[in-house]
Amino acid sequence: MTEPAENYPNPPFPAAMAPLPSERLAMDRLPSVVNSVVTGAIETCVVMSPGRGQAGAMVKAMSPDATVIQWYVDSFRAAQSTAIVAQGDIKIDVVCSSDLPEIAVDLAVLPVLKNGEAEMNRDLLQQAYQRLRVGGHLIAAVNAPRDKWLLTQMQSMFSKVHCHSDQDGWAYVGKKQGELKKVRSFDAEIEFLVDGRVMKTFSRPSVFSHRSIDTAARVMIREVAIPSGANVLELGCGNGAVAMAAAVRSVTGHAYAVDCNARAIECVTRAMDANEIRNMTPILNHDGVLPDVPPCDIALLNPPYYGDFAIAAHFIRTASAKLKPGGDVWVVTKQTDKYENQSWPGLVWHSVIQAQGYDLINYRKPVAS
């Protein structure tokens, strides 16, 4: 019987920072998988952590000579992991990119959250399988004691899947025997209209509103006037439809599309080329430090509703810092009450437009008298 993870070398993470249940389930399977490798060592491993990447640190502790890659699609989570890796002096490569690195690996580890995005998880499972060398292992785990979905996905790729469970969920281990017969694309192309011009953008799993342009974005495109020559900043750009509409309307101005998701920035870049838009810059960023963005005339915000308003507040503070005096911030939301009693440095409440069940809140940056 394989010993649990806690009986093996401890990753140098702060003691209070316990792994998420799904990552802990995957970590419990690491000793048996690493010990089963015929060559006696894992040379290359990729970990797709939904948390801080304790599984990667454990692989490194067990196989000190291995190249361990901790992959994230989100720059904020990648930055958190980078800080912890540096703090513990762990020799792990933290990578933030739209896809897994194009390298062959002996081991792939994918802890899945039971409420995670299904298409993203299918995409990562497929990519992980493709990166595996023949004979390599994929460990996938989920914090769902009654899981069937992840097991079905694993069984669709591996001829044999080893299953392990405890009170928190399930972990599955598959060994690659050959290449996939069919590789599925999860990408989407979306058309939309801007002043009678048919435009298109692209979307991938994990990009906000995958396969569509959400109603809030359409309201923003339709209701917010963008004058010629305006410099426009969009925070949380997703597939970039709003920022592209702003770029087209600003003509001689410039649009800056910012998102923390590497796939969103990839989609925006593709869409710029497809629509032949030159006055637009996509930026991967999560901390609001934007030295390459000049003072802007307009900021467009479609903040997510999760995060206890923290992300919305971050967006507004960032927008205020990058706005010219006399400039406007537009926020599209269904949670107007959360904004009404807030005081934002450098901004004053100006107006509200109601459209299709959404409120467009307009803040203005006063001109110094």
Same domain, 206 and 156: no
Domain presence at residue 261: yes
Residue range 82-90: mean pLDDT, rounded: 93
Domain final position from 132, 149, 175: 175
What would the pLDDT profile of 325-351 be if each residue is shown by its tens digit?
999 999 999 999 999 889 999 999 999
Which pLDDT score, from 0 to 100, does residue 8 have?
41
Domain final position from 121, 143, 175: 175
What would the pLDDT profile of 37-64 be if each residue is shown by its tens digit?
865 679 999 999 999 999 999 999 999 9
**CATH number assigned to the domain comprising residue 359:** 3.40.50.150
Give Cα separations from 89 to 11, 59, 109, 336 (angstroms): 11, 15, 21, 45
Reported confidence tier of residue 128, pLDDT bands at 50, 70, 90: very high
More confident residue, 369 or 360: 360
Q: Among 209-218, 282-291, 295-304, 335-344, which stretch is predicted with the lowest mean pLDDT? A: 335-344
Q: What is the DSSP letter of 204?
A: -
pLDDT above 70: residue 6? no
Same domain, 119 and 241: no
Same domain, 138 and 287: no
Domain presence at residue 181: no
Reported confidence tier of residue 318, pLDDT bands at 50, 70, 90: very high
Of 128, 79, 132, nearest to 100 by C-alpha is 128
Which pLDDT score, from 0 to 100, does residue 4 have?
43
Same domain, 238 and 296: yes
Q: What is the DSSP letter of 3?
A: P
Residue range 188-216: mean pLDDT, rounded: 97
What would the pLDDT profile of 249-273 be if each residue is shown by its tens digit?
999 999 999 999 999 999 999 999 9
Quote the mean pLDDT of the chain.
94
Domain presence at residue 357: yes
Which pLDDT score, from 0 to 100, does residue 308 have?
80
Domain final position from 134, 151, 175: 175
Reported confidence tier of residue 1, pLDDT bands at 50, 70, 90: very low
What angle separates helix 54-62 from helix 21-36, to the nearest 10 degrees? Answer: 20
Same domain, 215 and 296: yes
Which pLDDT score, from 0 to 100, does residue 220 have?
98
Same domain, 145 and 273: no
What is the number of domains present in the chain? 2
Q: How many CB atoms lie within 10 A of CB 209?
A: 16
More confident residue, 320 or 52: 320
- Alpha-carbon gap, residue 119 to 299, rounded angstroms: 31
Same domain, 103 and 141: yes
Domain interval for residue 244: 188-364
Same domain, 145 and 260: no
Domain presence at residue 335: yes
Which pLDDT score, from 0 to 100, does residue 39 have?
59
pLDDT above 50: residue 147? yes
What angle separates helix 262-274 from helix 241-250, to the nearest 10 degrees? Answer: 40
Same domain, 204 and 127: no
pTM: 0.94
